[in-house]
Structure 1
Amino acid sequence: MSRKVLITGGTGLIGSRLAEMLIDAGYDVALLSRQSTTGRYRSFRWDPSHGTVDEAAIPYADYVINLAGASVSEGKWTAERKRDIMDSRLGGTELLFRELAKGKHHVQSFLSASAIGIYGDSGDRLVDEETAPAPAEDFLADVSYQWELAGLKVQDLGVRTVVMRLGIVLSPEGGALPQLARPVKLGAGVVLGSGKQYMSWIHLDDVCRLFMQAMEESHWQGIYNAVAPSPVTNQEFTETLAAVMHRPLVLPKVPAFGLKLMMGEMSEIVLYSQRVSAEKVLRQGFKFEYSQLRPALESFYREEE
């Protein structure tokens, strides 16, 4: 049986680990990339900003996993950066829809990323997939909402479609964790803002296993939160990280206004409170390898005494 997976954003944090795990599980993997990649994966070229894609890409695939999008945590959110964050997600997803609509393919399922940013700043209220998105004035919520709409259109083509709302993906290789761990490592770790804001996190390997299970099992359909079942406050997160790294915590908190001065609008990523339910993926039969924060962090920093 042919088992070919096409990944967009395959050189990013999630995509590169997912590609490795798929290969280990016996799949053939190809990347849809703006640059020709060399190495262990076949690659097809595309350029979402110009609407061009190798015509052989979609016909290659049994499964398409769409992760492409400019990072929200690199660089200040200038008007240009925000446009890039939005366009890189919508352009790629709409291009995939256009190619799938041609119908000359055997794609069984389409999986697309989104983010829990869609819920906005929800305080200590537990939110789930039924919770209404935050208003469009909230940039991250608007990006996530538009991205989901573009991805869910693929359902109309008769292709099983799954959208994963990603929490804070934990990996020492990229994303938020290295930025949070750096000051802790230097003995200058601090709680951010009030420290009471919730962080809904997930271990990188669990994200990849979640995508793989949703890809393989036909009862997965629609929208799911990709978060571990134990969200923590920023204070708990920082204290656990310091304990795992055997470093002291500096007590004064970094006030919200200080973060806004340093990071501008991007400070929303660390100041917003998002307590997100994992109940739906648990009901689907997914078993987390890392359901608690401390073992998840220890898997990365256990060696660092």
Structure 2
Amino acid sequence: MKEIVLITGAGGMIAQELEKKLEKVYTIRFLTRKKERENEFEWDIKKGYIDEEALENVSHIIHLAGANISEKRWTNERKAELISSRIDSAALLLKTVRKKSIRLKSFISASGINLYGTRTTEKIYTEDDQPGNDFLSEVVVLWERAADDFKEQKLAERVVKIRTAVVLSTKEGALKKMLLPIQYYIGSPLGSGKQYMPWIHIEDICSMYEFVLKNPETEGAYNAVSPQHTTNAGLTKKIAQILKKPLFMPRVPAFILKLMFGELATAVLEGSRASSQKIQDAGFHFKFADLSEALNDLLKKNDSH
């Protein structure tokens, strides 16, 4: 019998790629707002509803659900949604797991590299560093606490938190947004361009989830970030180079981004590096540790579609 893995956040790019990686070894189920496939089960976080059949004989939960941080301006309402989509969803899972007297082998939760604070410093953060004190740090602290509840309440043998950097994919996210202006000769770094942009290739982030799922000795937090560091300007230049497009526009001034996006602008204007040494010490190998190789792989695949 294959072990059953239940994945939340079915619509996201990580969930979709992860299914392809895991389906040979595991039985995959998804929790989604609207059931469209045989292996999908409905839930409604606001109403506190979950199709309990999703949890029958489940061994592992991979919790990827969470509203997109950079999709909309951070109004108070949006901030509440960013928190509740992560925390209330985990709480609903916890309540259902407890009600059904399930003991999970693992609860693996997405988390964010933003835990360390939205600021540009020369420090390279490790998993032992303290959280920052801004909104995104607060979101991640609450998110991880909701995950840790599974261990504390003895509902999971272990909890793993994957502190995710900017995921590079041409399907959605930062890379997709950066490609268009560069292709139309209007690409340029944002603000000073000196802010670090911790990044990871979509294939490596999915491999990391597979790795922690298959290695029961992994536990706690891991930075999901490539070992090679880059800045916003460095990434912009590298994309332009691969696309063979010139970059002659001036940098986008920070004040314009703040006018356009409000507080959300800090998420793109600031950034520090984080270390991936802990996951590598556990035995994980990056396929795309080098930025040029990662971008070449993604942009060439994109060209062939």
Is the TM-score greater than 0.5?
yes
Counterpart in the other structure of 1:47? 44
Aligned partner of 2:295 in structure 1 is: 297
Q: Which residue of 1 aligns with 2:55?
A: 58
Matched, 1:145 2:130: no
| Paired position in structure 1 for 2:29 | 30
Report the RMSD for the aligned CA atoms in angstroms: 1.5
Structure 1 residue 205 corresponds to structure 2 residue 203: yes
Question: What is the TM-score normalised by the length of structure 2?
Answer: 0.94
Task: Deviation per CA, 1:211-249: give whole Å up to 9, x if none.
Answer: 011011111001111111112011111110111111111
Matched-pair contact (CA < 8 Å) for 2:224–2:276: yes
Q: What residue number does 1:76 align with?
A: 73
Secondary structure of 2:66 counterpart: coil
TM-superposed CA distance for 1:59, in Å, is 2.4
Match of 1:273 in 2: 271
Q: Indicate which of 187, 190, 212 corresponds to 1:192.
A: 190
Give the distance between the partners of 1:215 and 1:290, measured in 2 at CA: 20
Q: Is 1:85 aligned to 2:82, yes or no?
A: yes
Q: State the shift of 1:104 in Å.
A: 2.8
1:232-277: CA deviation from partner (whole Å, max 9, x where unpaired): 0111111101111111112411111111112211112211122011
* Aligned positions of 1:1-305 closer than 5 A: 1-23=1-23, 25-38=24-37, 41-102=38-99, 104-105=101-102, 107-120=104-117, 121-135=119-133, 138-156=134-152, 157=154, 158-302=156-300, 304=303
Compare 1-10 and 124-133 and name the one that shifted more: 1-10
Please, which moves more after superposition, 89-98 or 25-34? 25-34
* Conserved 8 A contact 1:115-1:167: yes
Structure 1 runs (4+) greater than 6 angstroms displaced:
none
Does the residue aligned with 1:223 lie in a helix, a strand or coil? Answer: strand
Superposition TM-score, scaled by structure 1 size: 0.94
Show CA shifts across 1:137-177 (max 9, x none).
x1111111100001111112142110000000010001111
Whichever residue aligns with residue 92 of structure 1, its letter is: S
Q: Percent identity?
A: 37
Question: 1:36, 1:43 within 8 Å by CA — same for their partners in 2?
Answer: yes
Shift of 1:302: 2.3
* Structure 2 unmatched runs, 5+: none
User: How many residues are treated as equivalent by the alignment?
Assistant: 300
